[in-house]
Amino acid sequence: MDFKYEIKEKIGVLSTAKSGWQKELNLISWNDNPPKYDIRDWAPNNEKMGKGCTLSKEEILKLKDLLNNIN
C-alpha cells in the first residue's frame, strides 16, 4: 500500500548514526491528514525512512510531562 507524507516542520535531531541516518522529531502530515508529531530514523536528505512513532499533540505533551519527571 502506498502512502504519502509531507514534513510540515523539522523540529530537531535526537541523534545521528555513523551511517548518516538521523533520528528526528518532525511534524508530519500522513496521507493528507492533520499533522502529527513523529519520531523516526531518516536517511540523509529524507530520501528514506525507518520505522517510527507518531504522536498526537496531546500525547506529545503527556510525554513531555513524563520526561520532566525523570530524575
Regions of the chain short of the pLDDT cut 50: none
Query: What is the pLDDT, as a whole number, of residue 3?
Result: 83
Tell me the pTM. Answer: 0.88
Query: What is the pLDDT, as a whole number, of residue 46?
Result: 87
Q: In what order do the strands lie in the sheet with 5-16?
A: 5-16, 22-30, 36-42, 49-55
- Please report, for the chain, the start and end positions of each structural domain, with discontinuous segments joined by +: 5-68
* Domain 5-68: which CATH number of 3.40.50.300, 3.40.50.10600, 2.30.31.70, 3.65.10.10: 2.30.31.70
